[in-house]
Structure 1
Amino acid sequence: MLDVSSSVPREPATGSAADVVLSVENLEAWYGESHVLHGINFNVREGEVVTLLGRNGAGKTTTLKSVMGIITKRAGSVRFLGKEIIRTSSDKIARQGIAICPEERGIFSSLDVRENLLLPPTVRPGGLPLDQIFELFPNLKERLTSQGTKLSGGEQQMLAIARILRTGARFLMLDEPTEGLAPVIIQQIGNTIARLKSQGFTILLVEQNFRWASTVADRFYIVEHGKVIDGFASAELPANMDKLHTYLGV
């Protein structure tokens, strides 16, 4: 378990500080005058899938947006690959290799699948070519000329993830990737995350469905009222189910 008596969670027993790709310490954020994050602390190591769990309004999405620089009124420390980025603009953060897939997906309805895929610029070398993207999401290859408005919710989610894979980012932040999707599509998203992890991607998830998250994540942090209040490794899930039920109200 994480020691939450301190403002900064202890390092996990496995791995080392050298493995840490993203380190967030005492992160605070505001929407206008509304103080939303009250000292978020967590880290993500290279090649991990880490999930932020919590009720609606806990601050999970705000955390992703703050890391990405989309929310500009923020304080504390966000270090990516050892470099402080708390005062860096979102476009420059993207060029360092971080990408976010938002909950609303952001598909351009007037563009077809190919145009949506090709729209984001390449920010770093190493982005996946279209043939590899179609291996991950064969549905998209079949719908290349379909407009965004013609896609199902699952196809839109696939397109939203595929789009950021082209950019060259190796640190992916996925916000509620399974929300509103059919079980068969949720399983496909899980398989995709597993394949991306095997290819060396590092992934930070925000997710409500902790049962699904337990099949893909290495570690979990619980966010409540703008703070990380607990955390544990995937192997510790069975021993913490009662706490999860309390935290998440499930």
Structure 2
Amino acid sequence: MPETKTATRPAAGAGGAQVLSVKDLQAWYGESHILHGINFHVKEGEVVTLLGRNGAGKTTTLKSVMGIIGKRSGSVQFNGKEISRASSDSIARLGVAFCPEERGIFASLDVRENLLLPPIVSSGGLSLDQIFELFPNLKDRLNSQGTKLSGGEQQMLAIARILRTGARFLMLDEPTEGLAPVIIQQIGHTIARLKKEGFTILLVEQNFRFASTVADRYYVVEHGKVIDGFANSELEANMDKLHTYLGV
């Protein structure tokens, strides 16, 4: 087993200001202690990926940042503002958007209704025409109920919906899980384009081969802690460690 450490390297991607800073983040589900002092940061314009095995605490980290986990402690700062005790709705109104693994679309509503439903938190949200440029499939399915969409179309809709809000900091939880390769490729193109347009993205992803096509930096999460981190340019040199960490 390789020696583990908490990453302290500077960002290799965008050189912008620090948007998110997480320090000693602890979280519980009832009596179960899930996060044991998570530390990481994300800079403006970066795509940062949390890697780790199932149950490592990656999704709990996103939910804790978003204020969805009720019992949590430590520091979470967004654009210099402490949000660790803020409610999820107030965090969303600061410009943080969360796309959960289960997608969370309204199955009884059609695509148009799903897209028009989210509240606008700031100016700059994508128009329907811009959404359809990113995801042409959604335009073809505009009047289809959520239950009639394929898994890939549901994922597109889930991402499209948060892009309508005007949020510029996106947290995407396992966006490629269970999707066909052609859809995964489309999701990758979308993330790359969003980064080019100035969005900042925190990504949870099991598929590090996919993550390598979009990420600037990686943090490895194990047993509720960040145990390693490196830049995308260092990925090849860290492949042996990654195979050990992820069990692949």
Give the TM-score category using the shorter length.
over 0.9
Match of 1:119 in 2: 117
Match of 1:51 in 2: 49
Instruction: Give matches, 1:38-187, under 5 Å.
Output: 38-187=36-185
**Alpha-carbon deviations, 1:96-142, whole Å to 9, x = none?**
00000000001111100000111111111111111111100010001
Counterpart secondary structure, 1:96: coil
Counterpart secondary structure, 1:204: strand
The answer to whether the 8 Å contact 2:11/2:43 transfers is: no
Bigger relative contact order (CA 8 A; separation at least 6): 2
Counterpart secondary structure, 2:19: strand
Identity in percent = 82
The answer to whether the 8 Å contact 2:13/2:46 transfers is: no
Q: What is the alpha-carbon distance in structure 1 between the residues aligned to residue 136 and residue 8 of structure 2?
A: 42
CA RMSD of aligned residues (A): 1.6
Of 230, 238, 241, the residue aligned with 1:240 is: 238
Q: What is the alpha-carbon distance in structure 1 between the residues aligned to residue 233 and residue 115 of structure 2?
A: 37
The answer to whether the 8 Å contact 2:35/2:223 transfers is: yes
Instruction: Give matches, 1:26-37, under 5 Å.
Output: 26-37=24-35
* Amino acid paired to 1:145: N
The TM-score with structure 2 as length reference comes to: 0.96
Instruction: Give matches, 1:203-242, under 5 Å.
Output: 203-242=201-240
The TM-score with structure 1 as length reference comes to: 0.95
Distance 1:4 1:166, change over 3 A: same
**Alpha-carbon deviations, 1:201-243, whole Å to 9, x = none?**
0000000000110011000000000000000000001100000
**Alpha-carbon deviations, 1:146-191, whole Å to 9, x = none?**
0001000000000000000000100000000000000000000000
Q: Which runs of 5+ in 2 are unaligned?
A: none
Residue 189 (1) aligns with residue 187 (2): yes
The answer to whether the 8 Å contact 2:152/2:179 transfers is: yes
Q: What is the alpha-carbon distance in structure 1 between the residues aligned to residue 11 and residue 44 of structure 2?
A: 15
Q: What is the alpha-carbon distance in structure 2 between the residues aligned to residue 38 and residue 170 of structure 1?
A: 28
Q: What is the alpha-carbon distance in structure 2 between the residues aligned to residue 58 and residue 110 of structure 1?
A: 33
Q: Which runs of 5+ in 1 are unaligned?
A: none
